């Protein structure tokens, strides 16, 4: 999962600029593998204001629950309601498995995130 244009966080979120200053936020394959079988996704309300680093969702699996943190500041403009009934959709692709869409307050925040190559290196160091 991930295209060269995608950005990543150390908390294993994946971010894709969708339209100008709106981003899709999901979790990476690394996080998905660590969680195992997903059973529930707790989504925020549309209109919720987030600051960078705020908890914005919770993904629950048979093993554990993991918080998803917003990599950018802004307003939640959409949530993926499909995940309420089918949380495993997170694992299909970011196009189908995105968790929330956020309209960024400051698009410069995305520049501080890792690219795919940097993220893969980060994951290797975590495993090593």
Which pLDDT tens digit goes with each residue over 54-84? 999 999 999 899 999 999 999 999 999 999 9
Which pLDDT tens digit goes with each residue over 3-55? 768 999 999 999 999 888 999 999 999 999 999 999 999 999 999 999 999 99
Domain ranges of the chain: 7-105+115-121
Closest CA to 33 of 5, 58, 66: 66
Instruction: Given CATH 2.40.50.100, say whether it is the number of domain 7-105+115-121.
Output: yes
Q: Which two tokens stand for residue 78?
A: 């959409």
Confidence (pLDDT) at 107: 87
Spatial distance between the Cα atoms of 55 and 74, rounded to a whole number of angstroms: 13
pTM of full prediction above 0.85: yes
Q: Is the pLDDT of residue 113 over 90?
A: yes
């Amino acid at each position: 999962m991930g295209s060269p244009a995608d950005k990543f966080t150390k908390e294993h979120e994946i971010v894709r600029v969708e339209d100008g200053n709106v981003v899709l936020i999901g979790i990476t394959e690394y996080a998905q593998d660590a969680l195992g079988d997903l059973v529930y996704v707790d989504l925020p309300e549309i209109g919720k204001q987030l600051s960078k680093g705020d908890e914005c969702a919770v993904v629950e699996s048979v093993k554990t629950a993991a918080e998803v943190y917003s990599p950018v500041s802004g307003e939640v403009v959409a949530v993926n309601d499909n995940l309420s009934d089918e949380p495993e959709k997170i694992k299909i692709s970011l196009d189908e498995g995105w968790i929330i869409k956020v309209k960024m307050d400051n698009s410069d925040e995305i520049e501080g995130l890792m690219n795919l190559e940097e993220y893969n290196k980060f994951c290797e160091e975590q495993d090593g």
